[in-house]
Amino acid sequence: MDAKLLEILVCPVCKGPLVYDKAAQELICKADRLAFPIKDGIAVMLESDARELAADEDVAG
């Protein structure tokens, strides 16, 4: 994920910062506990496509 692009992207729900999870290929919003997938190098920033993080799932970053 391009670092400059990551600086620009924000959570579409709360407009908060995102954390890049390279292993899972996801952008994570800690505030909303949502993980937005990255498919074929493109971040899918739709709330309907995001997965909710489990209560015990650790958010790195």
Domains of the chain with CATH codes: 3-52 (2.20.25.10)
Better pLDDT: 16 or 55: 16
Better pLDDT: 2 or 48: 48
pTM listed for this prediction = 0.88
Better pLDDT: 39 or 61: 39
- Amino acid identity of residue 43, one-letter, is A
Q: Looking at residue 17, what is its pLDDT?
A: 94
Burial class (CB in 10 A: 0-12, 13-18, 19+), 29: buried
Interior CA angle at 27 toward 2 and 36, to 5°?
125
Of the chain, the percentage scoring pLDDT greater than 70 comes to 95
Residue 11's pLDDT band (cuts 50, 70, 90): very high
